[in-house]
Amino acid sequence: MNGLTLQDVVLTYPDGDRRLTTLDRVSLHAAPGTLTAVVGPSGSGKSSLLAVAATLLRPDSGRVLVAGRDTAGLSPRQATELRRDRIGIVFQQPNLLASLTALEQLQAMAHLRGVSAKAGLPRAERLLASVGLTDGRQHRRPHQLSGGERQRVNIARALFAEPAVLLVDEPTSALDHDRGARIVDLLAAVTRDHDTATVMVTHDRGFAARADRTLELTDGRLS
Amino acid sequence: MFIALREISFARGRFALMGAVVMLITTLVAFLYGLTGGLAADASSAVARLPVGSIVFAAGQGSSPQVSFSNSSVGPAQLAAWQSAPGVGSVAALGIAMSRLTSADSTTSVSVLGVPAALLPPLESGSAPAAGQVAVGAGTARADGVSVGSRVTVGARTLTVSGITADRSYGHAPSVWTTEPTWQQLSGATAPSALAVDPGTADTTALDRLQNTRTVGRAAALAGIDGFSAEQGSLRMIQGFLFAVSALVVGAFFTVWTVQRGTDIAVLKAVGASSGYLVRDALAQALVLLLGGTITGAAVGVAGGALLSSGGLPFVLSGATVAVPVLAMVVLGLAGAALAVRRITSADPLTALGANR
């Protein structure tokens, strides 16, 4: 099955003498080309859901399949390779490298895949243009870009490896409403254009309504 | 190197500061290397450049021979035994003493060596000294205004300068050369200090045991020069400390730098960069810093040393010898950086998603 699938995923954390259940038998399937919004209040387990889907956390039980590949038996190295090749992550804070220009942020993704930065340049230029970063802004460093522009670079970077799964963590939290809306619309567009199974977690129900479907996460339970 | 080079360019102030520190340490190490080499030559070149393989030290009955030119004295029986031993290539009596050379112009502290003509340094003019004659180094001749045929006083004896040799020194005093019998007369010694030997196929261990002598290679014999080992040891210890300081400084810099890059490292790991990739990138950054700092520092050290040596400071440093401290600085600096950047392997990519999990 392509896209992203979570089946009966349970995740707990130690909390003193007992364990706190963060994800309680969570199941979902995000198909390619669809934007799924997961809404919930702070502490409901949204970021944990993303972390499990991104193979950054191993669940206590249940299965996580990324583009049909079961992540249960992956070694740390294999998980890293899976993230590199099949998963794109759009961070809450853009988390761009201060020393690199927008173009270089994407070229670095090529370089860490063993492709020369020069060879990655055309795709980096195309992707930045597709998220609306042109007119020389692609040669600016993060501190020379606006918050919305930084988030666009963040999205373009996540798309660089042509991921099957795009995981988006609160993409509008640092933006005003208008710019936030444009970013969510952009995410919906790139989901269709790049045929990614996109899961976006957000606390803002207004933005969630722009997704293909919306799921609610409350106390670790998805509904 | 893609990210490494751009980070250096972006944080050029910090890297320039660190590069300057590495450069200054390397300059200091290069100076010390040159000074160590210069002082070693100043203390020992008369012995170190003798055209023989071994030096034989001797002691009288009841005492054991030590590697010490000032404590050694070769008796006639020991000399004869070595000269007649089967397999020995050559044996020459070697006398060494400290004295003063007085010319018409000045008085200079000198080391006086009594050797056969075959062991003299290359002659620049004149001839090898006969009895009652002395050959002086070119530097001494120039400084004291003497030439072939001049009369000089060495110790209490007046000698005629027979030739001018290449410069050599012993115990930080320029060397003058005479015959071994003349050396005995002016030094007051009754026997040569040591033997300069080509051991050939002789069983030197057996000879040493029978004759109460001690044979060592020419390089090891330098330890027999008073103060040589202590002087060289002190300088090498300072060099060692500087290498350690360099590794620590570079390690400390990259520890702080790695901590500062913590978020970037977590993000890169989250998007699929392996620890190996990030460690290689960080070490490449360290290598660029170290190569830049050490090569510049070595160049400054060599240039400064050349300037100082022209002013009379004992300083010997060549391109080949400066490569040793440069290489050591780079290797030790990389080791320090490697210890610092190993924390990359433990960086948790989960932190890139924030703490609100």
With CA atoms as reference, the chain B residue closest to A167 would be: B353
Handedness of CA B14, A112, A83, B340 (dihedral sign): negative
Q: Are B270 and A89 within 8 A, CB to CB? A: yes
A51 to chain B, closest Cα gap in Å: 7
Q: What is the pLDDT of residue B181?
A: 94
**A57, A80, A157 ranked by CB distance to B274: nearest:** A80
Which of B185, B205, B239 is the last residue in one of the domains?
B185
Task: Provide the domain limits for residue B235.
Answer: 2-43+229-353
| Within-domain flag for B101 | yes
Chain B positions touching A47 (Cβ under 8 A) are 353-354, 356-357
Beta bridge partners of B66: none
Q: Are A97 and B272 within 8 A, CB to CB? A: no
State whether B238 and B318 are in the same domain: yes
The domain total for chain A is 1
d(CA B254, CA B289): 11
With CA atoms as reference, the chain B residue closest to A117 would be: B2
Which of B156, B185, B214 is the last residue in one of the domains?
B185
d(CA A181, CA A168): 14
Q: What is the pLDDT of residue B345?
A: 84
Around Cβ B3, how many Cβ atoms within 10 Å?
26
CB B119 within 8 A of CB B51: yes
Identity of the amino acid at B134: V
**B10, B271, B277 ranked by CB distance to A89: nearest:** B271
Q: What is the pLDDT of residue B179?
A: 96
Share of chain A above pLDDT 90, in %: 55
Q: How far apart are the first and last CA of chain B?
A: 33
- φ/ψ of A170, rounded to 5, equals 40, 65
In tens digits, chain B (357 residues) has pLDDT values of 889 899 999 999 999 998 999 899 989 888 888 888 889 999 999 999 999 999 999 987 778 889 999 999 999 999 999 999 999 999 999 999 999 999 987 899 999 999 999 999 999 999 999 999 999 999 999 999 999 999 999 988 999 999 999 999 999 999 999 999 999 999 999 999 999 999 999 899 999 999 999 999 999 999 999 999 999 999 889 888 888 888 888 888 888 888 888 888 989 999 899 989 999 999 999 999 999 999 999 999 888 888 888 877 888 877 777 888 888 889 988 998 888 888 888 888 888 886 443
State whether B181 and B241 are in the same domain: no
Q: What is the CATH number of the domain that holds A116?
A: 3.40.50.300
Q: What is the pLDDT of residue A1?
A: 61
| Within-domain flag for B103 | yes
Mean pLDDT for chain A overall: 90
Q: What is the pLDDT of residue B322?
A: 84
d(CA B281, CA B338): 11
| Within-domain flag for B235 | yes
d(CA B245, CA B3): 28
| Within-domain flag for B238 | yes
Mean pLDDT of the region A123-140: 89
Task: Provide the domain limits for residue A127.
Answer: 4-222
Closest CA relative to residue B135, chosen from B168, B165, B97, B104: B165
CB B190 within 8 A of CB B184: yes
| Within-domain flag for B151 | yes
d(CA B226, CA B223): 8
Least confident of A3-12, A39-48, A172-181, B269-278: A172-181
Q: What is the pLDDT of residue B355?
A: 46
- Helices B228-260/B319-341 angle, 10° precision: 40
Testing the interface with A: which of B260, B271, B280, B281 to mutate, by most A Cβ within 10 A?
A: B271
Testing the interface with B: which of A57, A58, A112, A115 to mutate, by most B Cβ within 10 A?
A: A112
CB B112 within 8 A of CB B176: yes
The CB-based long-range contact list for A59-63 (8 Å cut-off, 24+ gap) reads A59/A9, A59/A10, A59/A11, A59/A23, A60/A10, A60/A11, A60/A12, A61/A8, A61/A9, A61/A10, A62/A6, A62/A7, A62/A8, A62/A9, A62/A10, A62/A25, A62/A26, A62/A27, A63/A5, A63/A6, A63/A7, A63/A8, A63/A9
CB pairs < 8 Å spanning A and B: 91
**A22, A98, A111 ranked by CB distance to B2: nearest:** A111
State whether B323 and B253 are in the same domain: yes
Testing the interface with B: which of A75, A97, A200 to mutate, by most B Cβ within 10 A?
A: A97
Q: Are B263 and A95 within 8 A, CB to CB? A: yes
| Within-domain flag for B31 | yes
| Within-domain flag for B210 | no
Least confident of A6-10, A17-21, B230-234: A17-21
Please report the ipTM that was assigned to this predicted complex. 0.88
Q: Give residue B190's Cα distance to chain centre.
A: 33
B276 to chain A, closest Cα gap in Å: 10
Chain A positions touching B10 (Cβ under 8 A) are 98-99, 141
The domain total for chain B is 2
d(CA B154, CA B144): 13
Closest CA relative to residue A164, chosen from A77, A58, A88, A63: A88
State whether B137 and B250 are in the same domain: no
